Structure formats: C-alpha cells, structure tokens
Amino acid sequence: MDGYIIATVIKAILILAVISALAGFGTYIERKILAFIQRRLGPMHVGPFGVLQIAADGIKLFTKEDFIPSGANKIVFMVAPIITAATAFIALAAVPLLPEFTLFGIDVKPIVSDMNIGILFVIAMMGVGLYGPLLAGMAQENKWGIIGSARTAIQFLSYEVVTGLSLLAPIMMVGSLSLIDFNTYQAGGIGHWIVWTQPVAFILFLISGFAETNRTPFDLLENEAEVISGYATEYSGMRWGMFFIGEYANMITIGFLASLIFLGGFNPLWIIPGGLAIILKVAFFFFLMLWVRSAWPHIRPDQLMWLCWKVLMPLAVINILITGLVMMA
Amino acid sequence: MEAIAFYIFAILITGLFLVTAFSRNILYAMSSLAAGMVLISGLFFILGADFLGAVQLVVYSGAIMALYAFGMMFFDATRDVKEKNTSSYLVFLLSGFSAVALVVIFAAPTIGKHIEPIVTAPQGLDNPHAIGAVLFTKYLIPFEVAAVMLLVAMIAGIVLASKKMDESLSEIYLDADPETEKKEQE
Amino acid sequence: MSLDKLKNRNVGVQNYKMLDLGHTPESGWGKFKQVLKRSVKLELFVGLKVTIREMFKALFMGEMHTVKYPFEKLPISPRYRAIHEMKRLLESGHYRCIGCGLCEKICISNCIKMDTRYDEEQRKEVSDYTINFGRCIFCGYCAEVCPELAIVHGGRYETASEQRASYSNFEDMLTPMDELMNQKEYPGFGAPTPVADKNIKKTPLAY
C-alpha cells in the first residue's frame, strides 16, 4: 500500500514536470514550425537555433507584474488560470503514456491511475477545464472577457457532445472504457488499428479535439481580431502563462487519446519499439495542429455551431447506429 | 485511509455549498457550487463507483453548471446582489422544512433495519459493466422512460428555440432584394 | 538580387485575372450539393498541401525569406536618398564644393547652413557647412541643384543616433582621404544620365 502511494506520487510529479516542460517547449516548436511554413526562420538568437527561447520567455513571464484589474473579482480572477492548468494535468492521470518497462528491477506502469473508466475520466476532466476560461472571462469585468467566456461555454459544451458521441462507437467495439484495453485490442499491427474500422469517428474526434483544445479553425475564445484576447485579455505574467501551459498540455492529451484509441497506441510498429511509436504518433498530432493553424482560417461562431449541431453530431449518431447494426449482425 | 479522504471531501463540499448559499456575489456562488459538484465526484470515486463519479463530473460540472454560468453572463457578475425577501419567515419555514424532509428521506434507509437491496451488484464485473447489467435488466423500463422523457424535452426545446432558426440575421440583410427594399421604403 | 528589379517602374500593368466565384446556392438541396462538392473535392486539403510545400521549399531548397537584418542587408536602389555624402575631386583630393550656396538656397526645409570665406589664395572656401537632419526631409533638391555633383545622397539609411549632430558635420559627410580610391560617382538623383551626352543640344550662344 505504502509503496503504491509513493510510486503514484513519484509518477504524478514526473508527469507534471515532464508535461509542463513539454508544454513550454511546445510554444517554441509552434513558433518554429509556423515560421518554417511561412518561410521564416523563427526564434534564432537565444541559444543554438533559439532553443533557449523558452527560458527567455519564462524569465519574462515570471518577472512580469502580476496585474489584477481593480474592478475584477479578485479571488476568482486569481484561481481561474490554476483551474485550466490543473484540469489539463489531472486529465493526464488516466492516460497510459508509455508501455510498461522495467527500471532497477521494478515493473513500472507509466500511468498514474489505471481506472477502468479512463476515457470517460479524461473527457470529464477536459470538460471541467472549461471553468478556467469561463471564470476568467467573467471575473475580469471586461467586455472582451465576457464575450470570450460566453464563447468558451458554447464551444466547449457543444463539442463535448461530439467528442463523447464519436468515441462511443470505438468504445462499443472494444467493450471497455479503459485506455489500456484499447491498446491491447489493437495489438495485432497496423491492420488492427481502429482507424480503419472507424474512420468517421476518427475524423469527428479529431475535429472536436481541435475545438476542445481551442486550436485554430476553432480558436474563437481568444481570437485577437474579434475579441482582443478573449478570456485572457486582462491577464499578464505567469497567470497568463498558466492558461497556455494548460492549452498545450491539453493538446498533448488529445494527441495521446487519438493515438491510443485510433492509431494503435504503444504497440510496437515494425522495428520501432512501442514507446517510440506512441511518441512519434503524438508528435504527429502536435504537428498536425500547428500545420492546420498555418493553413486554415478560423470560422465564425455561427458556423461553429452549424458545424457542430447540423453536421458533426448527426454524423456521429449515424456512425453509432451503423456500428451497432454491424455488431449485431 | 478512506475515512480521512471522506472527511476531507465532506468538509470541503459542505464549506463550498455554504459559500454558495450565503455569498452575495453571483460569481462566488457559482464557482463554489461548481467546485462542490467536482468534489462530490470524489465521494463516488472513494466508494468505488468510478463510472458514476465520471458521470457526475461530465453532467453536473461539465454541462449543467456551465449552462448556469451561461445564464449568469447576462448579469454583472462582479457586483453583489441585493436580495429582496418579502416574508423571511415563510422562506425560512419552507426551506427548513424541505431540508429536514430531504435529510429524513435519505437517512431513513441507513437507519432502518428491515431494508434489503432488491438487486445485488453482479459479481465479477467491473464498474461500468455492472451498471449496464443492472440498468438493462432490472431497471430497463425506468431507464427507457427516462430516455423518452429526455427525447420529449429535447424535441420541445428544439421546437421552442427554432422558430426563426433558418433565417440567419446576416443573410437577411445580404439577400435583401434591392427592388423589394425600394417598395418597402415607398 | 540584381538591381534590374528595382528599376522596373511599370507598376499597374499587370494582367489581373477575375476569379469565377459562382453564386450562392438558394435552395437547401443546392446548399447540400455545394457542401458535398467542397468536401469530396477535398478543397480544404489544398491549403495543407500548399503550406507543407512551402515548408519543404524553405527548409531544404534554400528559399528561406528571412533577412537577418542587422547582420544582413538587402541592396538598396542607387537612387535611394539617405544621409548626404560630400564628394572629393579624384585628382587633388580637394573637396568638390565651390561654396556657391545653391543648396542652401534651394533647401525647402532650410536645414543646410553654409558659411564661406576667401582663403589666402583668394579662392572661395567653405568655412562652415552643416545639415540639420532633424529638419531634412531628404527631398534631394540639394543634390539635384549642385553644379559640381559635390553634395549627393548616399545609402546610409540607419540614422538612429544619440545626437542629431552625429552625421551633420562637413567632415563626417566628406569621403575620407584613404577611401578616395573607392569613391564612386553618384548614379542617382541629380546625376547626369548615361545618355546625357546624346541628349545634349547646342545652346544658341554656340552659333
């Protein structure tokens, strides 16, 4: 029992450290890749190829004044960014990050809590994450903030439906909510990946994943052209940084979910060992998010709702229906 | 271990809901209610009801409270609310009575001695499967009735909300025919 | 990059091509068909293809567009009008300025100030010459009017300085003596064109 608690605490701290470092590094990757796509160089001067740019950004964010507007609701304003960052990391608790491995003679399962409802927990935690932007926007007494938080509410609520419904069909096929069961279900190589049997669900999940992580075709929450910075208008310094650590951690979570559920998870691929395979898959999804950001314009709020309720949700329901019929036959 | 966790959760939940009841600020009330809802799911997790815990997270904090919050957008959330009670005795009596009634209803089964569970939890199944087995055997009809009710509510909501759904405001101005506009002006 | 591109002044004669945007479908069926056509034709993915192609071009084919400005500079047109330069006579190394005062006279922002005196050989000598760059609008009249091509515009466009006077002394603008061999004739504003010899006409006095 004691060993279990200690192991869990160590895993939690490790995940917190690694993922928040990766989230910071994600900002560098994003700037670099967007720059390459626009045929620019991106950050170049801090460290070799600008790798230490995140250190410079971190120093800037930490030393900046932590500004709280006089009209704002102080406590809620201060707590809101923590909600975003915390829920993003709590969601990762139920995600198996790597295959099991042996370290110093101890079998290590790289998952903080192997609960049998993993997917549901991750989706629930990402759903709770909407309180960060929501409360932030409402607490700061700023019209852009209020619009940003209203958009948070409609966008996250609507696309949670699509996420849930699109994942229902694969869940029906596997018959379990545990992400490890999903992984073992697809153990037979590329031919067994769920993406071949559920392509519609994969595309729907990807689209709603973009919406839930607030990535570009659906980045209405903090669109500069329309609502200045949306919910983050009045934030500065590390509180602003926490929103972005949360956002990048969510991107990593969505990448892990998509690769675990649809793309074979951490099963070995040809000669690539499982651990490297899943890292490559997550890296691909991360790159895809940046790639899409560089290519596509974002859409209007009414188009967002149109897409969700008139296109994606009916498609998801039809997909579930067809899956059910095929499974019964 | 579980007892410690339970008492921590219980104290936190009670405290948060007290803030909800006594705060004069909408934003405090709403965020403490949402936090309380999240923490209630912790009680489910302690009891081993993982599925219900996650559903509590999704439904109550993810959906219902977010809709409340959406309604709050129409108020100035940073200002205090002045409550207007016409008869505080009536409010006190009604709310006190309903609170006592709720406590009695929920406490009676645990105190009573002649109560046995009709359905025992299926053995050898994990949590979601067990819930599914019970829902689709013993409680199939209530489950279906609840589903039909939800469907009715959904259709009613669509009908109520969709009176002018096909006319987008931007398109009304864009598609306006210049000739008919002239006639209207005349 | 060659300078020919900069000299191309044919602005406004490009061949514009009007795109056929079609019309917005009216009926629901028409809208559905449009959505279907756009989705099945995968028009969205053209955008992705273009961006990834640009990325490969930039990374592997050397088409990166960034100019790391303080370290690299783009060539500027010879007609560019930046901080003035004072030229010297190549033979003697003496400055070309004859102290005629035309530049001072024509300067529309009154920023050129010159004093002249007679030296011991009774030749006119520039004793004091300054340009107030806080007022100069770089119109180029001084270079155009100068009969000796003594004052011209150079290409030094980075004019941030701690003091306005930093560039404006006659000695600062004058070509240094050791650089005299590299002094280039100014081809820009106010200079005779390459076909000037051909265009010259006899004045009535020559008859």
What's the confidence (pLDDT) of residue A320?
Answer: 92
* From A102-116, B7-21, B59-73, C55-69, the region with the lowest mean pLDDT: A102-116
Using a CB-CB cut-off of 8 Å, the residues of chain B touching A115 are 50
Confidence of residue C1 (pLDDT cuts 50, 70, 90): low
- Write out the two tokens for A272: 């690539």
Mean pLDDT of B110-125: 72
Q: Could you tell me if residue A173 is left (phi over 0), alpha (psi between -120 and 50 degrees) or otherwise beta? A: alpha
Encoded amino acid at A73, one letter: N
In this structure, are residues A292 and A216 in contact, taking their beta carbons and an 8 Å threshold? Answer: yes
Q: Is residue A141 part of a domain?
A: yes
Nearest CA in chain B to A140: B78
Closest CB to A36: pick one of C44, C47, C59. C59
Encoded amino acid at C192, one letter: P
- For residue A296, report the phi and psi dihedrals to the nearest 5 degrees: -110, 145
Q: Over chain B, what is the mean pLDDT?
A: 80
What's the confidence (pLDDT) of residue C11?
Answer: 65
* Contact status of B23 with chain A (Cβ, < 8 Å): no
Positive or negative: CA dihedral C189, C193, C197, C199: negative
Look at domain B1-83 and name its CATH class.
mainly alpha
Using a CB-CB cut-off of 8 Å, the residues of chain A touching C66 are 39-41
Of A178 and B98, the structure prediction assigns the larger pLDDT to B98
Which ranges of B23-112 would DSSP assign to H, the alpha helix? 26-46, 50-56, 65-72, 88-111
Residue A191 reports pLDDT greater than 60:
yes
Using a CB-CB cut-off of 8 Å, the residues of chain B touching A121 are 50, 54, 57
* Contact status of C1 with chain A (Cβ, < 8 Å): no
- Write out the two tokens for A160: 């949670």
* Contact status of A295 with chain C (Cβ, < 8 Å): yes
In this structure, are residues C148 and C191 in contact, taking their beta carbons and an 8 Å threshold? Answer: no
Positive or negative: CA dihedral A277, A281, A282, A287: positive
In eight-state DSSP terms, residue A263 is: S
Largest pairwise CA distance in chain C: 98
Q: Is residue A179 part of a domain?
A: yes
Q: Is residue A47 part of a domain?
A: no
Closest CB to C63: pick one of A39, A44, A294. A39
Integer Cα distance of C25 and C177 in angstroms = 76
Encoded amino acid at A23, one letter: A
Q: Is residue A323 part of a domain?
A: yes
For chain B, domain boundaries = 1-83, 85-126, 139-186
Mean pLDDT of B10-32: 87
* Contact status of A156 with chain B (Cβ, < 8 Å): yes
**pLDDT tens-place string over residues B45-89:** 888 888 888 888 888 887 888 888 777 777 766 667 777 777 788
Look at domain C84-192 and name its CATH class.
alpha beta
What's the confidence (pLDDT) of residue C167?
Answer: 66
Mean pLDDT of A178-182: 84
Could you list the residue range(s) of the whole structural domain that residue A154 is in? Answer: 69-328
How far CA B121 is from CA of B55, B117, B183, C179, in Å, comes to 19, 9, 73, 98
- Please count the other Cβ atoms lying within 10 Å of the Cβ belonging to residue A26: 22
Integer Cα distance of A287 and A290 in angstroms = 5
In this structure, are residues A299 and A307 in contact, taking their beta carbons and an 8 Å threshold? Answer: yes
Gap between the terminal Cα atoms of chain C: 48
**pLDDT tens-place string over residues B145-181:** 999 999 999 899 888 877 666 665 555 555 555 555 5
Q: Which long-range contacts (CB under 8 A, 24 or more apart) does B54-61 make?
A: B54/A117, B54/A120, B54/A121, B54/A124, B55/A120, B55/A124, B57/A121, B57/A124, B57/A125, B57/A127, B57/A128, B58/A120, B58/A123, B58/A124, B58/A127, B58/A160, B58/A164, B61/A127, B61/A128, B61/A131, B61/B34, B61/B37
Nearest CA in chain A to C47: A295
**Cα–chain-centroid distance for residue C98?**
27
Q: Do B27 and A138 touch (CB under 8 A)?
A: yes
For chain C, domain boundaries = 28-65, 84-192
**pLDDT tens-place string over residues C157-178:** 887 777 766 667 777 778 877 7
What's the confidence (pLDDT) of residue A1?
Answer: 57
Mean pLDDT of C133-143: 86
How far off is chain A from C47, nearest CA to CA, in Å?
Answer: 5
Integer Cα distance of A37 and B159 in angstroms = 47
Integer Cα distance of C187 and C172 in angstroms = 21
**pLDDT tens-place string over residues A209-236:** 998 888 888 888 777 778 888 888 888 8
* Contact status of A8 with chain B (Cβ, < 8 Å): no
* Contact status of C63 with chain A (Cβ, < 8 Å): yes
- For residue A65, report the phi and psi dihedrals to the nearest 5 degrees: -70, 135
- Please count the other Cβ atoms lying within 10 Å of the Cβ belonging to residue B28: 19
What's the confidence (pLDDT) of residue C190?
Answer: 62
Gap between the terminal Cα atoms of chain B: 81
Number of domains in chain A: 1
Q: Where are the beta strands (DSSP E) in C158-203?
A: none
* Contact status of A52 with chain B (Cβ, < 8 Å): no
Using a CB-CB cut-off of 8 Å, the residues of chain C touching A294 are 51
Integer Cα distance of B4 and C83 in angstroms = 79
**pLDDT tens-place string over residues C70-92:** 888 888 887 788 888 888 888 88
Beta bridge partners of C124: C118
Using a CB-CB cut-off of 8 Å, the residues of chain C touching A296 are 44, 47-48
How far CA B76 is from CA of A141, A155, B25, C61, in Å, comes to 8, 22, 10, 56
